[in-house]
Structure 1
Amino acid sequence: MNYKDKIARQVFPVTKVVSRRKPMFLERPWRWYLNLSYHWQAFINTVILSAILIWVPYHFVYMLSYSRSKAEIMAKQDPGFTSDELKERIREFNKRKEEGKAETSKL
């Protein structure tokens, strides 16, 4: 409230009751942001956009390289030890175990 407004209120008292509107979502941070200088606003915008433009592609490429490296490791396994063949061997072992023909190392 500035000086002129204070004088006007003394002459013309405010009698109207104003109800406060419902606060906007993130109103306080938004007002803080708008009160910053233009340069600080530009800096914050730059930081946020840089984070979005760097972070998302970085993690996307990281995910692709991670899945590719797993595929290369799976491809370099010994013959008969791929995931499908191991699942098949486990099924065969469980079947033999139920029949009592499973070879175990227990004495």
Structure 2
Amino acid sequence: MNMEEQIMQIILFSGNAKSTAFEAIQAAKDKDIEQANALLEKANEELGSAHKVQTFLIQSEIRGEKVETSLLLIHAQDHLMNAITFKDLAGEFIALYETVNNYTKN
């Protein structure tokens, strides 16, 4: 797989993770905490896939293989970092919705 394909995989997996984390927030908002947590786990899996590709590129550079810095690579890294942040915040939203839902039941 060439460099551009690897970079596009990072973008794809990161985008999937962010979208799934957003779905998790919506599920929590709809009071389906079990589904929200399942979706958050799926987002984690997507981030794991993106991270594997990123790690491969980092290890390639460590081995002395030139990894060309490009706008596309920077864009992929930006997607990954934002997806990680969004997933972490989604976890906080889910916990908040769960607390609010339990509080309003009483």
TM-score range, shorter chain: 0.3 to 0.5
Q: Which structure shows the higher helix fraction?
A: 2
If the length of structure 2 is used for normalisation, what is the TM-score? 0.36
If the length of structure 1 is used for normalisation, what is the TM-score?
Answer: 0.36
Whose relative contact order is higher, 1 or 2, with alpha carbons under 8 Å and at least 6 apart?
2
Q: Report which of the two structures shows the higher radius of gyration computed on alpha carbons.
A: 1
